């Protein structure tokens, strides 16, 4: 798994600890989502017609992606702490590796379907802007987290 694949996963987990100031998971997710919607709206400069079609598709994709990453990957990561990895059998390690690869494949297929769906709504240039804007948003949020962590 390369760094680009790990960055969104790392982003999600660090984001939740960043907002862990007595809020529940749903509130944290909603805060992040609101920040992301505002950022993407500004960056993409969608027409009213594009926005009307784009947001339901995007929100569905974003929710599905979150569920896959949060539910499945969190379970895998919990099994991959140093103590557990030192004691894991080869068979269990292979099983875990296969589950992780299956989840990666599931995320890939979801992204591919999302991209195809977007091509019916937006021009290719705006789809590329979306990809860049999502990366920019993730990077900015991660920097914000690091800055706050360094101040403590």
Cβ–Cβ under 8 Å, residues 110 and 68: yes
Alpha carbons 38 and 103: distance in angstroms, whole number = 29
Residues 18-77 have pLDDT tens digits of 444 556 778 887 888 899 999 999 999 999 999 999 999 999 999 999 899 888 877 777
Say whether pLDDT at 9 is over 80: no
Residue 41's closest CA among 151, 134, 150, 143?
134
**61 or 80: which leads in pLDDT:** 61
For residue 23, the model assigns a pLDDT of 62
What letter would DSSP give residue 70? I
Residues 96-144 have pLDDT tens digits of 889 889 999 999 999 999 999 999 999 999 999 999 999 999 999 888 8
Residue 3's closest CA among 148, 142, 150?
142
SS3 content of the chain, % helix, strand, coil (to 5): 85, 0, 15
Whole-model pTM over 0.95: no
Count Cβ atoms within 10 A of the Cβ of residue 97 and give its class: 0-12 exposed, 13-18 middle, 19 or more buried: exposed
**111 or 5: which leads in pLDDT:** 111
Indicate the domain borders of the chain: 3-151
Say whether pLDDT at 14 is over 70: no
């Amino acid at each position: 798994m390369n760094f680009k694949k790990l960055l969104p996963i790392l982003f999600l987990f660090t984001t939740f600890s960043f907002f862990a100031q007595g809020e529940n998971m749903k509130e944290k997710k909603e805060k992040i989502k609101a920040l992301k919607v505002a950022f993407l709206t500004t960056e993409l400069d969608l027409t009213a017609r594009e926005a009307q079609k784009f947001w339901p598709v995007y929100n569905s994709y974003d929710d599905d992606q979150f569920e896959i990453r949060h539910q499945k990957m969190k379970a895998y990561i919990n099994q991959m702490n140093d103590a557990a990895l030192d004691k894991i059998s080869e068979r269990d390690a292979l099983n875990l590796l296969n589950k992780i690869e299956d989840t990666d494949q599931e995320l890939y297929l979801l992204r591919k379907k999302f991209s195809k769906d977007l091509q019916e709504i937006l021009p290719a240039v705006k789809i590329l802007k979306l990809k860049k804007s999502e990366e920019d948003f993730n990077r900015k949020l991660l920097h914000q987290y690091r800055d706050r962590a360094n101040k403590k």
